[in-house]
Amino acid sequence: MKELVKKLTETYGPSGFEGQVRALITAEVQGVADEVRTDGIGNLFVLKKGRDSRHRALVAAHMDEIGVMVTHIDKDGFARFTRIGGVRPLGLPGARVVFASGIAGSIGLEKLEDRTKIPDLDKMFIDVGAKDKESCPVKVGDAATFWQPFVAQHGRWIAKAFDDRIGCAVLIEALRTMPKPAYDTYFVFTAQEEVGVRGATVAAFGVEPDYAIAVDVTTTGDTPESHPMAVGLGKGPAIKVMDRGMIVHQGLKNWMIRTAEEVGAPYQLEVLEFGSTDAMAMQTTKEGIPAGVLSIPTRHVHSPSEMVDEGDVQNSVKLLAALLSRPVSLE
């Protein structure tokens, strides 16, 4: 699984530009899916037929990652930019980025009058080494992502874009290893989550599942002076209770907890005060869909170097496969 995660995290795919990630996942699921298709927004649907085709389950992980987009090239060939998704300005100066073409650049910073304040994006630029505007190899509208290699050490993995390529990896591995699911199960790799859960909105509308689960990252409270939170690395996946965008269906949450206990998968309970997931959109589709979230604890979310625990990832696969292999209970 480590090699799969490496390939996924090192692949270029900001919101709206998920094509390379979609192609990689399509290749990875060949031979284990009953149907593979895409829709108009760029979602990838991978269907695994179940024992009871009268019912449908949807499990989602988003393909896109945060990034930046060029808004202007100045006369000296430096690219000004805006953010795609929740990019944090504090982590940008000095970061290396890469465009779809393979062109790399580093983010520079103008001289600051007050070095005690976090700089605004309008004080930053991307330097691709161009001599002037005419020779600049990128143009307005080009998108870039962080450029960082995958690293594995001491049972922990470090990479960019674990949000949410690690969720994509969990879906792929569950699809490969699980027995026949209880219901027809749609593994949906969604587009444009980071800019408004757009892919999940249309995916749930089309599938009309009996229930839906998003697999995504969550932050932790186990680093120095972090915001208090009862989630940490190495303690198992987290079963969400609530976040800023949703309160999880109580019956579905309780079923997820019972399943984890029955199969011996360690788990944590998650209350996230900031942010949300694809489940927020799926929950409010049409007449409403019972929705839950399986979260992978992740340090340094939305930075160039996010961190997860290998055991948490493996237990996420174990729990997801167990959930999809049994009929749902919403009591």
Catalytic residues: 193
Q: Amino acid letter at 128?
A: V
Q: Does an H or E element contain 124, and which? A: strand 124-127
In whole angstroms, give the CA distance from residue 201 to residue 198. 5
DSSP states along 79-112:
EEEEEESS--GGG-TT-EEEETTS-EEEEEEPPP
How many angstroms separate the first and last alpha carbons of the chain? 34
Residue 106 CA, chain-centre distance (Å), reads 24
Q: Amino acid letter at 144?
A: A
Asked, as a colleague might, if the bond just before 114 is cis with ω within 30 of 0, I would say: no
* The 3-state secondary structure of 224-270, one letter per residue: CCCCCCCCCCCCCCEEEEEECCEECCHHHHHHHHHHHHHHCCCCEEE
Q: Which of 203, 208, 289, 206 is nearest to 251 (CA)?
A: 289
Q: Does an H or E element contain 140, and which? A: none
The strands making up 156-159's β-sheet, listed across from edge to edge, are 151-153, 156-159, 306-309
> Checking phi first, is residue 99 left (phi over 0); if not, alpha (psi -120 to 50) or beta?
beta
